[in-house]
């Protein structure tokens, strides 16, 4: 998934916002809370996509080739996909959607109502 495809997918999720910060990272939020990041840094200047996981997904993905616990965010159960071919785009979209849902559920009822979202 390219950075543009990543941005297009995240933009398609209801009530999301995007900021570019931390040296050019594309940071996607819902209700002011981050659910996914696409950054370009380190060797090779390849996009690295990070996202929030549930406990089981975090345990499984951090052991898969092409994934690492996300720098600075691993303690909150985030992983970083370091290789573009580590997962299909469809699977990646499913995990990003799951991250969005996890963060939506952490918002207050008032925030969810204001944003007109209902976590599944």
Q: What is the CATH number of the domain that holds 56?
A: 3.90.1150.30
Domain for residue 119, yes or no?
no
Mind listing the pLDDT tens digit for each residue in 28-80? 999 999 999 999 755 556 789 999 999 999 999 999 999 999 999 999 999 99
Task: With a cut of 70, say whether residue 119 has pLDDT above it.
Answer: no
Q: In whole angstroms, give the CA distance from residue 17 to residue 82.
A: 24
pTM (2 d.p.): 0.91
**Structural domain total, the chain:** 1
- DSSP class of residue 85 equals T
User: Where is average pLDDT lowest: 28-37, 38-47, 82-91, 106-115?
Assistant: 38-47
Q: In whole angstroms, give the CA distance from residue 115 to residue 120.
A: 15
Mean pLDDT of 11-16: 96
Which 3 state secondary structure label does DSSP give 82? Answer: coil
111 contacts: CB under 8 Å, gap ≥ 6: 31
């Amino acid at each position: 998934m390219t950075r543009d495809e990543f941005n297009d997918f995240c933009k398609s999720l209801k009530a999301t916002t995007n900021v570019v910060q931390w040296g050019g990272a594309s940071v996607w939020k819902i209700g002011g809370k981050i659910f996914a990041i696409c950054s370009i840094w380190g060797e090779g200047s390849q996009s690295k996509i990070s996202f929030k996981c549930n406990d089981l997904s975090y345990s499984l993905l951090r052991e898969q080739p092409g994934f690492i616990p996300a720098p600075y965010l691993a303690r909150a159960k985030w992983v970083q996909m370091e290789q573009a071919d580590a997962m299909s785009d469809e699977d990646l979209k499913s995990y990003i959607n799951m991250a969005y849902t996890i963060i939506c559920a952490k918002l207050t009822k008032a925030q969810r109502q204001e944003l007109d979202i209902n976590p599944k």
